[in-house]
């Protein structure tokens, strides 16, 4: 291509692909380290734990809302996606479906699900969900290859939001219409395959490929449209974890918005409110990590700050000291 052509610059071969990692952009963050640990722990819990510490499924009266398919029979602790997407079955569960599951079982199941919904909310997305981990790994892979991502600009986000609503509708309503959400569920294949179980994916297999490729180019692509995540976000007001912003410290640099996998814009434009947590926020802490202003963003647990942005930490990567 002609060198004078402005478009040349974007596609120039020299600029893409692998290059030595010279960019000083790594800052260590205990918070993010813990997040990765938890994500792997979650994956272990819902994929392999049953096989290793117990013969088959265990503790499935305790339900923790994330996306991990119970068709993998090694789950420890239950994931409510099956019953939420088959609400009629949930009401039937004290009946004849599973004779060994009694009333106490059902009550415990509902109570734990609600407890997680209300008090923990989407922090489970950021910290435990195996589907989230899968997408994060795809993103890491892309970053390692230095392939440019597809940036979800606000018009693309506006396009994705209706898709989310469709998924929510399908998730909650498909069973009432006589369908089976599991036949179209994009996540049926992953944890089951990891655990060595074979299931029939139907249309879900197609969606699985879409979100796998999607999450390579778009960070947490599925989470942007995930129905389970949305339901978990609904109770954000009661969450014990909260995302706070000190609006006087913010320079509106937009770094948090760019870093946010959920493309939450209000976090950067907000100028009055202290609480900037939205339904979409999964408490992943990426925004705090990339914010260069002292204390501008912080996460609290029961009112106590557990992680906050710091200029010192941010700038330290530029300090010029040899690593």
- Short-list 56, 77, 57, 58, CA closest to 66: 77
Q: Can residue 90 be called a binding residue for ligand SF4 (CB under 6 A)? A: no
Smallest distance, ligand SF4 to C-beta of residue 230, A: 8
DSSP H helices, the chain, are 6-11, 30-47, 49-53, 81-85, 87-92, 103-115, 123-127, 130-144, 154-173, 188-195, 204-217, 221-225, 227-233, 255-259, 266-269, 286-290, 311-316
List 282, 307, 308, 310, residue binding ligand SF4 (CB under 6 A): 282
Q: Which does 269 bind (CB under 5 to 8 A by kind): ligand SF4, another protein, none?
A: another protein
Q: Are 309 and 296 in contact (CB under 8 A)?
A: yes
Binding interface with another protein (CB under 8 A) = 3-10, 14-17, 19-25, 143, 146-149, 151, 153-155, 247-255, 258-259, 268-269, 271, 290-292, 311, 314-320
Considering only residues 167, 297, 307, 308, which one is a binding residue for ligand SF4 as defined by CB under 6 A?
Answer: 297
User: Residue 136: which residues within 8 A CB-CB, separation 6 or more?
Assistant: 39, 219, 220
61: three-class secondary structure by DSSP? strand
Which of the choices another protein, ligand SF4, none does residue 85 contact, using the CB cut-off of 5 to 8 A by kind? ligand SF4
Shorter beta-carbon distance to another protein: residue 12 or 200 = 12
| 103 burial type by CB count under 10 A (0-12 exposed, 13-18 middle, 19+ buried) | exposed
Sites for ligand SF4 among residues 131-160 (CB under 6 A): 131-132
Quick one: which of 160, 282, 187 has its CA closest to 230?
A: 282
In the complex, minimum distance from the CB of residue 213 to another protein, in angstroms, rounded to a whole number = 17
73 binds, options another protein, ligand SF4, none, Cβ within 5 to 8 A by partner type: none
Asked if 67 is part of the footprint of ligand SF4 (rule: CB under 6 A), the reply reads yes
311 binds, among ligand SF4, another protein, none (CB under 5 to 8 A by kind): another protein
Please report, as ranges, the residues that interact with ligand SF4 according to CB under 6 A.
Answer: 66-67, 69-71, 81-82, 85, 125, 129, 131-132, 181-182, 185, 187-188, 222-223, 226, 228-229, 243, 245, 250-256, 259-260, 262, 264, 267-268, 281-287, 291, 293, 296-297, 309
């Amino acid at each position: 291509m002609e060198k004078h052509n402005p478009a040349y610059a974007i596609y120039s071969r020299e600029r893409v692909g692998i290059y030595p990692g010279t960019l000083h952009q790594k800052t260590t963050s205990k918070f993010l380290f813990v997040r990765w640990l938890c994500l792997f722990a979650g994956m272990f819990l819902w994929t392999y734990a049953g096989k290793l510490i117990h013969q088959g499924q265990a503790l499935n009266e305790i339900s923790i809302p994330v996306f991990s398919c119970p068709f993998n029979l090694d789950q420890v602790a239950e994931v409510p996606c099956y019953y939420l997407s088959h609400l009629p079955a949930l009401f039937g569960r004290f009946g004849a479906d599973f004779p060994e599951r009694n009333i106490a079982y059902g009550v415990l199941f509902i109570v734990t699900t609600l407890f997680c919904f209300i008090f923990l909310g989407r922090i489970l997305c950021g910290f435990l969900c195996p589907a989230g981990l899968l997408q994060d790994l795809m993103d890491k892979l892309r970053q390692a290859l230095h392939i440019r991502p597809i940036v979800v600009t606000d018009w693309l986000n506006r396009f994705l939001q209706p898709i989310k609503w469709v998924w929510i509708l399908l998730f909650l309503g498909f069973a009432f219409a006589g369908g089976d959400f599991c036949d179209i569920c994009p996540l049926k294949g992953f944890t089951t395959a990891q655990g060595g179980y074979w299931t029939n994916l139907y249309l879900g297999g197609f969606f699985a490929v879409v979100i796998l490729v999607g999450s390579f180019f778009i960070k947490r692509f599925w989470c942007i449209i995930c129905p389970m995540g949305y339901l978990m976000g609904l109770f954000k007001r009661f969450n014990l974890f909260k995302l706070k912003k000190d609006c006087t410290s913010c320079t509106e640099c937009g770094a948090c918005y760019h870093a946010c996998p959920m493309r939450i814009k209000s976090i950067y434009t907000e100028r009055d409110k202290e609480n900037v947590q939205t339904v979409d926020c999964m408490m992943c802490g990426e925004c705090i990590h990339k914010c260069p202003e002292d204390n501008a963003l912080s996460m609290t647990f029961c009112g106590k700050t557990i992680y906050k942005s710091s200029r010192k930490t941010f700038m330290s990567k530029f300090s010029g000291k040899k690593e």
